A and B are shown apart, each in its own frame.
Chain A
Amino acid sequence: NAGVTQTPKFQVLKTGQSMTLQCAQDMNHNSMYWYRQDPGMGLRLIYYSASEGTTDKGEVPNGYNVSRLNKREFSLRLESAAPSQTSVYFCASRGTGELFFGEGSRLTVL
């Protein structure tokens, strides 16, 4: 019973490089989310997808893009990474109840 799976778990990028964080859930949830976690800031919503085929901006979307590939998968892309994007990224999914989070992806941008 995997729940929400994120890859990669760790990544180091140089400024200006691009990368995609992958997320998949096996709970048949409609809604999926991407958060970033920074010390003292809690979790802040980057983008979300209410259902397959739809995506919307959250609180801190600048510098990111997302794709809801199908009901299971929701990816987050950094087109040109910046040091300010150094963070831990969490994917989450939700059916009609609570949020379920993945284990996180720690990204460092040098």
Chain B
Amino acid sequence: QQQVKQSPQSLIVQKGGIPIINCAYENTAFDYFPWYQQFPGKGPALLIAIRPDVSEKKEGRFTISFNKSAKQFSLHIMDSQPGDSATYFCAAITRSWDNAGNMLTFGGGTRLMVKP
């Protein structure tokens, strides 16, 4: 049973568009929500993360929106560029992050293509 559901599986936008990737979780104990970006042939790398005490976090062109009551969070990429083409994963974990055995739960991933 996948505890973090991610949609869509794939997304194509034109340069300058605003792709939106959505994630929904079930476990209300989750309290840290990172997003990872993965380029072909590379490992995932942390992009941006949010805690549920805020509703939005921006880092450059990347924004996470968080809706605690709906148990949903989303990634928006403003003014998307071809270089943003990658696979994006949302994830969730509980606050006992310092316990190495506490597992990050990943969404299924979204393959984004930004056309020139």
Contacts from A to B (Cβ < 8 Å): 4, 30-31, 40-45, 48-51, 56, 58-59, 90, 92, 94, 96, 98-99, 101-104
Contacts and interface: CB of A to CB of B under 8 A. Distances in A.
B42 A104 contact: yes
B42 A103 contact: yes
Contact of B46 (A59, A96, A98, A104): A98
Given A40-B9, A90-B44, 11 more contacts: A4-B43, A31-B100, A40-B109, A42-B89, A42-B108, A43-B44, A43-B106, A48-B103, A50-B100, A90-B43, A103-B43
Contacts of B101: 48, 50, 56
Contacts of A90: 43-44
A45 B109 contact: no
Nearest to B46: A98
A104 B42 CA distance: 7
B6 A42 contact: yes
Contacts, number: 55
A94 to B, nearest CB: 7
A61 to B, nearest CB: 12
Report which residue of A49, A59, A96, A98 has the largest number of chain B beta carbons within 10 angstroms of its beta carbon. Answer: A98
Interface residues of B, number: 24
Contacts of B6: 42
A99 B46 contact: yes
Interface centre among A43, A48, A104 (most CB of B within 10 A): A43
A96 B107 CA distance: 23
B59 interface: no
Given A40-B109, A42-B108, A94 B100 contact: yes
Nearest to A49: B100
A92 B43 contact: yes
A40 B9 CA distance: 7
Contacts of B107: 42
Contacts of A30: 100
A71 B42 CA distance: 23
B41 interface: yes
B100 A42 contact: no
B44 A101 contact: yes
